[in-house]
Amino acid sequence: MSAGSGDASPGPPGAASSGPAPRARLIGRRLERHARIGSTNDRARELADTGEEEGTVVLADEQLSGRGRAGRGWHSAPGLGVYLSVVLRPPTEASRAPMLGLLAAVAGACALECRIKWPNDLMLDGLKVGGVLAEARTTAESIRDAVVGIGVNVNHDEGDFPPELRGRATSLRRHRGAPQDRAGVVRALIDSLDDWYAIWRRVGDRPVLERFASLAPDLRGRRVRVQDAGAPWTGVTEGLGPAGELLVRRDGSGRRAAVRFGEIVLVEEV
């Protein structure tokens, strides 16, 4: 592990360059790099717990126990993907915590030029190329701190995925048809996260929700199967609610439900 600059570091502020002057960045001011780690989200959580400043990024070439949501795993092949987590301290109400996942998905989709599947999948060619894991620690009223992690498949070939992911996962390389520069992907993700976090802090939820909606084609008018707390049910999507929840008109009762957690699977277009 080395702290500070590595090949994926965004570079020291004020470094001489022929381009425009570097802006005052929050995310990525400090970067902690690991060749191998359990989970970058777990490491960023440790840092947050010991007072790490906002914006620090933890980056790894390999994760031994990369995590998805709800106890699921994130397959983190060594040297092929980008696995990073950011420590955040947004001074805002606890009820806005779900927005962190949405804003990270928007930032990821803008950086990678891909689509979003609600709530946190980054999609290319209908396959999953990345995912977001946002974990906030809240008091009754406010967010104390949060860790936002993004994993992206960059240089994977089909054979680099375990059998259960083949046909469901893709990589930037497979989509673009050529090997990709992982350091460039890291820089693009950090820049985009920095931009979207600043927009969210300055303007609020609306621009994040609007961009999310424009990047997530299944949010409206699609029949989906919803897997939330209980038995799966079906309905037709009707967009996002004000807190980023998915609104679905339930088949049968015709009632509109707000889905806050869970998965959706496209059933058919209506």
Q: Which residues bind ligand BT5 (CB under 6 A)?
A: 39-41, 63, 66-70, 72-75, 83-85, 120-121, 128, 131-133, 149-151, 153, 165, 169
Q: Copy the structure tokens of residue 10.
A: 């965004």
What span, in angstroms and rounded, lies between the C-alpha atoms of 78 and 226? 33
- Nearest Cα neighbor of 104 from 56, 165, 72, 149 is 149
Distance in Å, CB of 237 to ligand BT5, minimum: 18
Residue at shortest CB range from ligand BT5: 131
CB 146 within 8 A of CB 97: yes
> What's the CA gap between 154 and 151, in Å, rounded?
9
Give CA–CA dist 56/130, Å, rounded. 21
Task: Identify which of residues 93 and 125 has a Cβ nearer to ligand BT5 in the complex.
Answer: 125
Q: Which residues are paired to 80 by β-bridges?
A: none
Q: How far is the CB of 112 from ligand BT5 (least distance, A)?
A: 13
Cβ proximity to ligand BT5, 88 vs 132, nearer residue: 132
* Cβ-based nearer residue to ligand BT5, 9 or 170: 170
Place of tokens 């929050």: 26
Q: At what angle do helices 182-203 and 98-112 cross, to 10 degrees?
A: 130
Query: Which residues 6+ apart lie within 8 Å of 95 measured at CB?
Result: 243
Cα–Cα dist 26/193, whole Å: 10
- Please say which residue, 84 or 219, places its beta carbon nearer to ligand BT5: 84
- Closest distance between ligand BT5 and the C-beta of residue 62, in Å? 11
CB of 165 to ligand BT5, least distance (A): 5
CB closer to ligand BT5 out of 120 and 237:
120
What is the smallest separation between the CB atom of 177 and ligand BT5, expressed in angstroms?
Answer: 19
Q: What is the closest distance, in whole angstroms, from the C-beta atom of residue 169 to ligand BT5 in the complex?
A: 3
- Minimum Å gap between C-beta 235 and ligand BT5 is 20
Query: How far is residue 48 CA from its own chain's centroid?
Result: 18
In terms of CB distance, is 80 or 248 closer to ligand BT5?
80
Cβ nearer to ligand BT5, comparing 117 with 211: 117
Selection from 86, 35, 115, 91 nearest residue 193 by Cα: 86
Cα separation, 144 vs 135, in Å, equals 11
